[in-house]
Amino acid sequence: MPSFELPMRGSRNEPPPKPSLLARARASLSRSKAEPDRPRPRRSILIGGAPKTPSARGLINPNYTRRAVCQCKCLRRLLVGAGLAQPSKEDDAELLSEIDVTTEEGLERFLERFELPDCHNPRDLTGDDRQRLLRLFDFFDLDKERHISKRELRIGLSALGQPPTDSDAKRMIAQLDLSRGRSGDGQVDFEEFCLGLLHRRCDLYLALYEPDKKKCRGTPVTASDLDKIQSKDKGGSAADSRKRLSAVISAYTGRPDSAFV
């Protein structure tokens, strides 16, 4: 019966031991010094917790990319909430689009980000306070023309959970529009916006910072809703004027339906 011998340590059948990590690093460093023009291999990319090496076509799994973006957003939100990072313009816009100031949690998050300073004059604002109020102003300024109209005020307050009626929005604009005596533009610029909020007496300040004292009970509206209402009003007024003109012509000519309208 043939006999088989097991390979002993150090025999030819045993594979050579792998070099240690330090030895491999030293060998790579020596090769790079000896051949400085040698192209280096591309490193693997770690996305979403799984190593991914870009292929020759440069394609990356979109699921890992989406997951990495979500993780970065969550991490930045935590850092901003903890005060370890300064909020950007996109962070403030995202916060204003998802909170409701009538709730306790929404009001607390709003006051953490847009708390007013103790001064009452816009000239005494620091750079950070002025930038914070400017981002709040930009949230209402939808057309980016550097002023807030009654329409934009209704849309912005509706997004924050305080939808005003048309008369409420008109009164808020009248309280903030300090130039109405000279030009009567019916719009609020940034300086008037800051002055009204810093004095803490106007209805807009109460609706944003003290919603328990000023509760707007209007219908929430969006930009498309107001456009539909405006086009409907224009069409109705034109139709009514045609009917009245037809009635006048019919009464004058004695015809039941006037052919001139």
Q: What is the pLDDT of residue 157?
A: 92
- The CA-to-CA distance between both ends of the chain, in Å, stands at 120
Instruction: Band the pLDDT of 256: cuts 50, 70, 90.
Output: low
User: What are the tens digits of pLDDT across the range 16-58?
Assistant: 677 776 677 778 777 777 776 666 555 444 444 444 444 444 4
- CATH superfamily placement of domain 108-209: EF-hand (1.10.238.10)
Listed by start position, the domains of the chain span: 64-88, 108-209
Q: What is the pLDDT of residue 17?
A: 74
Q: What is the pLDDT of residue 95?
A: 85
- 122 DSSP assignment: G
Angle between helical axes of 150-159 and 223-253 (0-180°, round to 10): 140
- Distance of alpha carbon 218 from alpha carbon 168, whole angstroms: 9
Q: What is the pLDDT of residue 224?
A: 81
User: Whole-model pTM above 0.75?
Assistant: no
Q: What is the pLDDT of residue 43?
A: 47
User: What are the tens digits of pLDDT across the range 221-240?
Assistant: 887 877 776 665 555 555 56
- Contact (CB, 8 A) for 122 and 191: yes
- 47 DSSP assignment: E
Q: Residue 205 above 90 pLDDT? A: yes
Q: What is the pLDDT of residue 49?
A: 46
Q: What's the rounded mean pLDDT across residues 98-120?
A: 89
